[in-house]
Amino acid sequence: MDLDLDIHNIFSLLKDSYKNIDFRTAIYKTNKNWNRILTIIRFSKENELTIKNKHDELELTSYKTNNFKIHHEIANVSSWENFLIQIYDEINEEIEIYDFDDFLYKDQKYNQYQESFLGNFKSLHSNPRIRFFFTEDEIRNYNIFNFIYSVSDKNNHHLKFDKILKNEILSLGEDNIYEIINRTMELDGYGSQNALFISLVFPIYLKISNLSYSNEILSGKIEFHEIYEGTKFFFRIFSNPNFNASLKGRKVITISKDSQGIRKKDNESYEIDFNLDFSEFNCDPIFEIRALWNKIPILHLIDFRHTFETPRFNKIYANMIEEITIEDKEEPNLYLNDIIDLDIFHSEFYREQVEEINRAFKQGFFNCTYILIRKLIENLLIDCLRDYYTEQNISRYFNVDKKKFLSLSKLRLTFNEMINNPKFIARVDKIQQQVVDFLVIFKEIGDSSAHSFFSIDHQELIEQNRAKLLIVIRQLAKIKWKLNQQTK
């Protein structure tokens, strides 16, 4: 079934879940005129006071200078088009719509041009693992429909305001304008390589929280706005990280305001706990959780995978190890063994890194070994992302403004997005979601303070997680090799 997911269609479906819009725009002055850098319009179920308190927390007014400020407004949701039309009128010469002298505002042709402008917005709806710019807090809260409008000449656009504002921004104690914009707009990744000009954010007020798994019972909570009543939640159960021919079954929950145990959160929102018994499947489930709303039957409004470390899950690790030709049993004392197999790599660059890691571990420099392992993983992630996204999308792995690669945490998010992209799967293959989960082992501790870092037993950490480390390394090497083969 085809469904046109344009701005008007999405708004008509979701409008009853919104009360206000949170309008923010970064603007700068040139030739005594104020010009827009970036505009974000967030639709919200919150009241004016809640949104205002959010603005106060972000201290939007504290970044005002002679030539720069963050303009923000709160307005009733019914006025959202007025904000867009105002921007449309400002940039009409750039998009070249006024091609005759007797143009009349508010006539039929003007309305047609407005629709043409809205038609230039690109839909970027994504599943919960993938986001375009928005911060991790927003990822955890709600999925979104995101429509964006881009500038036609991003280099000229950025050059204009960066040149004017550079000294003023330094006087605020900031390194560059982009840090301010990301903070006040609640974005992550906007920079000089981005053509984003306007973003419309439609939250989907439907989510699962408090997931836990104990004694073969999956429990959690579903929170939803009343417009999503009747949504079906599918809990698909797999027994193997590869998700190939391992589907064991599924359970379905349909949410309703009349369901037993339902609780009212406010005038329009509800929550309900669920407990699902998976003992009949006799496996440690790997869950794929989806939500389907009958008003948008062509996509899942929630779609993610989740695993839990349980006793039988260790068997899955062993299967993965065997699958990628790693021996199932490890020596009880790894002190004299290599941590990483040298034969994984053909590249001299990576072989030298592996030799250094193995040498450091054999000599008992365990803190050093951990740092080198983390750096090896970062290098592999960057190479995989660079080979897939190329330099045309350099912002996916490199911060151009700060002239450095993104942090391991951000690289992991981009990597997660990449391996779930259908185009990537077609080019490379399906990569186990556990690879992303295992990356966290080598991320969290690496992000600790210096004092915490040296209080950790890195020898024990490395030895206990060697099997997972080898899975990560081999999978990253496999991705890099396949992408390189395609470019030869």
pLDDT given for residue 45 in this prediction:
94
Token readout for 404 is: 């450095």
pLDDT in the model for residue 113: 59
Q: What are residue 5's phi and psi, to 5 degrees?
A: -95, 55
Residue-level pLDDT at 73:
93
Q: State the pLDDT at residue 482.
A: 83
Please report the pLDDT score of residue 404 as a whole number. Answer: 85
What is the rounded distance in angstroms from the CA atom of residue 375 to the CA atom of residue 443? 11
Residue 280, judged by CB atoms within 10 A of its CB (0-12, 13-18, 19+), counts as exposed
Q: Where are the domains of the chain?
A: 7-203, 206-306, 313-487
Specify the pLDDT at position 276. Answer: 93
Which residue numbers in the chain have pLDDT < 50? Answer: 1-3, 94-106, 125-140, 311, 313-316, 324-336, 444-455
Looking at residue 82, what is its pLDDT? Answer: 83
Q: Residue 95: its pLDDT value, please?
A: 38
312-330 confidence digits (pLDDT tens) = 544 445 555 555 444 434 4
- In the prediction, which pLDDT does 303 show? 80
How far is 90 from 85, CA to CA, in rounded Å? 9
pTM: 0.62
Contacts of 443 (CB under 8 A, 6+ apart): 408, 409, 412
% helix, strand, coil for the chain, step of 5: 45, 25, 30
pLDDT value of position 336:
43
Q: What is the CATH number of domain 206-306?
A: 2.60.40.10
**Which pLDDT belongs to residue 97?**
37
For 255-313, the pLDDT digits (tens) are: 999 889 999 998 899 999 999 998 888 776 778 888 999 998 888 888 877 777 554 54
Q: Which residues neighbour 274 within 8 Å (Cβ) at sequence distance 6 or greater? A: 218, 219, 220, 221, 222, 253
Answer for the pair 40, 199: CB distance below 8 angstroms, yes or no.
yes
The rounded distance, in Å, linking the Cα atoms of 350 and 376 is 8
